[in-house]
Each structure stands twice: as C-alpha cells, then as structure tokens.
Structure 1
Amino acid sequence: MDDFGLRPLAGGYSGETFVGEAAGERTVVRIYADRGARRGPAAPEIDAALLGLVRGLLPVPEVLEVRRPDETSGTPGLLVTSFLPGERLDLLLPDLDADRRRTVGAELGAMLGRMAQMPLPRAGMVVDGDLSIEPWTGFGDLAGWVEQQRGTTALAEWPEPAYQDLQEVAARAQSHLDEVDRVCLVHSDVNPKNLLVDRATGEVTGLLDWEFAHAGVPGTDLGNLLRFDREPVFAEAVVDGYLRVAGHLDDLDAPDGRQRLLDRARAADLLALVDLAGRRGENPVADRADALLRAIATTGDLHAWPF
C-alpha cells in the first residue's frame, strides 16, 4: 500500500485499516477486503451511517468518503474518515496515575451513559445504510445461546458439570436483563484498544471500530469495558460517570442502583464472553475469556475474577 501513500494503522487488528493523506491532512482508510467483506456489501455504508448518527454526541471521526464494493471490477468497499488525535488507551492506561485514571474512567462512563440514552426500536443487527434493524431470533434467551455454543464451539470440551453450572448462571443473568424493557445503540467492542485518550487532559478523543454495533441491552458496553479492566480507581470512576449521566434510567436511581447496573452489565457481557470462550486456543483474548467464564460458572458469580 506504500505506493498509494497508505500505511497500516497501528492497532488495526483487521489488517484492513490504513493511514493516508488527503489535501495535506491525515486520513484513515478502511478497505473491506477480507473480514470487512464477510459482513456483506453494505458494510461501508453501515459504518458510515453509524458514525454520522453519533457524531457530535460521541468522539468519532468525520466520514469523508464511502464506496460500496464493485463486484464487476472486484474492487472492495471503502470508507475514508478523518484522523483523530490521542493515544490508544490500552497503551496509555498502565502509565496513568490514580487521578488521571479517575478522570479517564469518569469520561468513559459518561460516554457510555450517553449511548445508553440512544433508543432504537428493537434488538437486532444493523443491516443497511438506512440503519434498518433486523431482529435477532432467540433474543432474550441466554441459556439457549449457551446451549447453541455448546454444540459448535470449544465449549463442547467443557465437562458436563461445568456446563450445567454455566447454564444456571446464564438463567440468572437473563433475569437481570429482563428487568430492562428497552434497547439502545450498543457499540459492542468498547475496549481500550478501540479508545483514544489525550494523555495530558484525560479527555476521550476517539471511539473507534464500529463493526459490531447493534441494537441491544443498556449496559452491554459497560460490561465490555470492565470485562478485563477492573482496577478499582478506574472501574469505580467508569460506573460513577455512567450513573451521573444515565442514573435516572432503568431504576438505577434506587438505593441499589449501582449494584443493579453492575449486575446487568456483567449479565449483558456474558453473551460476548461465551462467544469468545468458544474460540479458546485461537488467541490470548479467547483463552483469557475462557478462564474468566469458567470462574463465573464455578462460583456462580457474574463478578468472579480469577486473575
């Protein structure tokens, strides 16, 4: 790609994201050639529409150009956006002192609280550039999801007692999710490698990589962010920030609102955790997810921490 002035973007795990330049300004170019292409021909338009929907409310780049793939010529889809400032949080967070971790956490919690207030009509996947939602079959059945994964993923290797423990946890988790009767926009991959932060101020300058965005349960992104990043100062600030912005929703202003929020966040993240654990052996993140899921199943505690 160097011949075209494109360089791989550091941290772009898909291998399809590059830094380019237009009119003297840096840009980010996403080429939907492999993983992106598997999402279908509408993927560039969906990502562009999502960025347009939240821009001004969340720190996302400006869309500069979007192209659908051309089957006739074999040209892949393309999305060009502005380049955002900041450092990736996964690289920055270990170096921050307690005060700065608190600042960053509160900013992130407030951002997730704003997302929790973006209502959508039904749960499901975004399927086109008009942001149409295709409902999920089996939504609201975590135990059914676990059973499905048992037959087709690495969960098949779990001993039967551990699997039964996981089914019981899934049923209890579903009861937490059933307390909320609305859906909202969910990014679904809010983890430090997809977040940009200004080192000096703690301001969140970017929320990247919207390929897994969908309409889902409020609190899902909170559970995602705090799945592995549980350092107390940071985690407590994230929850504080969320409650400051969205604490008036979903009965979170009750005396036990903080615990309700964390219970729902862990419950909502269980679906993604099961999916990741089902790919144990593929990468270190999947292996870590498997260890966490086994601890949750063994203890019956959604908040279990084995590390």
Structure 2
Amino acid sequence: MRNVPTRHALASHTPHADPRLAGRRLEPLAGGWSGETFRAEPSAPGQVTLVARYLAAEHHAPEAAGIQAALLRQVSGLLPVPDVHGAFESDGPVPGLLLTELLPGERGDLVLDRLVAEGRDDDLRTLGRALGGVAGTLAGVRMSDVGTFADETLRIEPFRLVLPEWVDDHAAGLAAVGWSGAEVAALRAVAEDAVPALAGAQPCLVHSDLNPKNVLVDPAGPRVTGVLDWEFAHAGHPATDLGNLLRFDRHPAYVDGVLDEWCAVVGRATGFRPDPAVAADAARAADLVALVELAARTVTTPVVRRARRHLRAIARTGDLHAAP
C-alpha cells in the first residue's frame, strides 16, 4: 500500500500511483479548494474515464467514502448524480477514495456568471428554476431526525442546533477575526429573531453545499446535468439548501427562478405551496448557520471573506436579507 497517495502527498496537486485505481492516470480537476479531485484516465482500451475523489481532509471520517456512495445511490432516481464505481475507506495515512462516473456539463457558477454578464434574464430564471428544483426535491426526501450520517447505512447520529446558541458557540472565533462584542451581540439578536422562521419543519436530506459551483449544467438549457460533492450532506432543515443557493447569488431573475421552482416542488410533495417570501425568510435563517461557521474560521479563503462581509451586513442592519 505504500504507493497509495497520503494526505501530505495530495497537497502537491500532481498525479499519483494508486493500486486502487488499477494503473489509471490521474489529472487534477478544476474547481473547489482541496485539490483532491482528479480525472482517472484509463490505461487500457474499453475502460471509461472516472472521477477519483480523495477524502483526505481532517473532517473526513474513515467511513466518508461509503457514506457518500450510499447517498448517491439513494438519490440516483431523483437527481442527476454520478454512478458509483467504487468506495474505499481510509486506512491510517491512506485517504478514503470515491470513484464515480464522469458527467457532462459545465460548472454552474461559470454559467451563472456568464448569464449575469450578458444580461440574459430569461436564461437566469431558467437556471434558477433548475437549481431550485434540485433543492426542492431534496426537501422532499424525509428523514427521521436531524443529524449526521454515521456510516454507509445512513444511520443518523442526532444533533441539536439552536441559532442563538450557535452564535454563542462561535463568538470567540468571531472575536479572533476582529468582531467587537457589540457586533456579536447584534448578530445574536438577529439569530433570536430568526428562530420562528425555522420552527416546525420536517427533517429532510440536506446536501449542505448546494451552490452553483457544485452543480454541472448544460449551458444550452440551461439544465442541471450533475449534482456533485456530497461530503457535507446530513439530515436537517428543508430550507438549508435553498439558503445556500441564494447566499451570494442575488440577481433578481435567478432568485425568482430558484424560489418559484422550490415552492412549486415542495408544494407538489406536501399539498401546500409555500409563499416565496416566507420561503426566502426561512432560507436566510437556515443559511445563518453556515455564514456564522464560515465567518468564524481561522483560515481565510475567498468564500470566508464573502461570508464575513455578508454576516457583518446582517448584524449591522438586523436584516437577514442584507448584503454588503
């Protein structure tokens, strides 16, 4: 097993020999921040190109590959997700590995940016509907409790999260990156006001990183051809993925499309179509969890910077919908 790439080796972004890949040649794929996803090119005729995703980060449990494989199989009839070709648990310094089908399409964030730049409102609305439909479909996959997935059986380990307490838990982290006590107190007040917007919802399957960067799109549609990167999936609130889709991308036509289709899909599943304004409030409240966690991180990335700016605007104005 000494030829298998280790966590340290993966940081170099270069191809590595891995006996689990049967001699395939690895080429780094663009996108994301980890540098852990590769095209696994075949070395023999008749084989198909795969995607090899190494689960090498500290937050990846040894069972992470099996959990993600089980999730992809569960939603394969509901959403366009890649077929699973193999899942390997981590073993000491050897990271877990998930092998999946290579799907067609362009990254959704690139398509979205192009449509905004070109002022194509109709296509922005269509793309928004396509992504809102994904989030609405996940909101209809009911779960027995709120929590994380423990293993490939998708057994749920419950957790409880209350927004004001979540802010308290991250207050030290926010202070460490420059937040004053008054700013944290203002944010906690917003969190208290947001609690009712999340009350009474049935837990569902949450992708938890559902943004255009993690979706493949056929630009001609535009339609979704792949929903990727399920590493943060859990059982949670049905507005969580909606909030992620609307976090930073706020072009009116796109937002209208996302909300319209999310409400339509949820309405068909439950028999009661939510009001878009109410859904938007719940989405912002649910997304406050991610914004707080991102803003309090010690490592700064472009996403963390944006989260801090948005969260400060929310704390300053007392408005969940505020933007810098």
Query: What TM-score do you get using the length of structure 2 for normalisation?
Result: 0.87
Question: Is 1:118 paired with 2:136?
Answer: no
**CA distance 1:154–1:6, shift in 2 (3 Å):** farther
Q: Residue by residue, what CA displacement relative to the aligned partner does 1:146-174 show, whole Å, maximum 9, x if unpaired?
A: 00100244567322222111111001111
Q: Cα distance, 1:247 vs. partner?
A: 2.6
Q: Residue by residue, what CA displacement relative to the aligned partner does 1:186-219 show, whole Å, maximum 9, x if unpaired?
A: 0000111101100112110111100000000011
Q: Residue by residue, what CA displacement relative to the aligned partner does 1:247-290 show, whole Å, maximum 9, x if unpaired?
A: 35779636xx2111011000000000001111266112111111
User: 1:214: which partner in 2?
Assistant: 234
Question: Could you tell me which of 77, 88, 94 is aligned with 2:107?
Answer: 88
User: 1:224: which partner in 2?
Assistant: 244
Match of 1:245, as an amino acid?
A: V
Question: Is 1:279 paired with 2:297?
Answer: yes
Question: Is 1:169 paired with 2:190?
Answer: yes
User: 1:77: which partner in 2?
Assistant: 96
Q: Contact 2:297/2:304 (CA < 8 Å) preserved in 1?
A: yes
Question: Is 1:9 paired with 2:21?
Answer: no
Q: Cα distance, 1:13 vs. partner?
A: 2.4
DSSP 3-state at the match of 1:200: coil
| Alignment partners' CA distance in 2, 1:172 and 1:252 | 25
Unaligned residue ranges in structure 2 (runs of 5+): 1-14, 18-23
| Alignment partners' CA distance in 1, 2:189 and 2:96 | 43
User: 1:294: which partner in 2?
Assistant: 312
| Alignment partners' CA distance in 1, 2:124 and 2:234 | 28
DSSP 3-state at the match of 1:106: helix
Question: Is 1:42 paired with 2:25?
Answer: no
Moved more, 18-27 or 208-217: 18-27
| Alignment partners' CA distance in 1, 2:111 and 2:128 | 13
| Alignment partners' CA distance in 2, 1:176 and 1:274 | 17
User: 1:99: which partner in 2?
Assistant: 122
Match of 2:146, as an amino acid?
A: A
**CA distance 1:258–1:252, shift in 2 (3 Å):** farther
Q: Cα distance, 1:21 vs. partner?
A: 2.7
Match of 1:266, as an amino acid?
A: R
TM alignment of 1:254-269, pairs within 5 A: 257-269=275-287
Unaligned residue ranges in structure 1 (runs of 5+): none
User: 2:156: which partner in 1?
Assistant: 133
Q: Residue by residue, what CA displacement relative to the aligned partner does 1:93-132 show, whole Å, maximum 9, x if unpaired?
A: 1222222111111111112111100000000111100001
Match of 2:186, as an amino acid?
A: D
Q: Contact 2:177/2:298 (CA < 8 Å) preserved in 1?
A: no
**CA distance 1:75–1:297, shift in 2 (3 Å):** closer
Question: Could you tell me which of 38, 41, 58 is aligned with 1:21?
Answer: 41
Q: Contact 1:280/1:286 (CA < 8 Å) preserved in 2?
A: no
| Alignment partners' CA distance in 1, 2:277 and 2:89 | 44
Aligned residue pairs total 297
Q: Contact 1:28/1:83 (CA < 8 Å) preserved in 2?
A: yes
User: 2:164: which partner in 1?
Assistant: 143
TM alignment of 1:179-190, pairs within 5 A: 180-190=200-210
Q: Contact 2:203/2:237 (CA < 8 Å) preserved in 1?
A: yes
| Alignment partners' CA distance in 2, 1:154 and 1:83 | 43
Q: Cα distance, 1:54 vs. partner?
A: 0.4
User: 1:270: which partner in 2?
Assistant: 288
DSSP 3-state at the match of 2:49: strand
Query: What TM-score do you get using the length of structure 1 for normalisation?
Result: 0.91
Question: Is 1:158 paired with 2:175?
Answer: no
Question: Could you tell me which of 240, 244, 261 is aligned with 2:264?
Answer: 244
Match of 1:199, as an amino acid?
A: P
| Alignment partners' CA distance in 2, 1:31 and 1:199 | 28
| Alignment partners' CA distance in 1, 2:230 and 2:183 | 34
Match of 1:127, as an amino acid?
A: A
Moved more, 119-128 or 74-83: 74-83
| Alignment partners' CA distance in 2, 1:154 and 1:87 | 39
- Identity of matched residues, %: 47
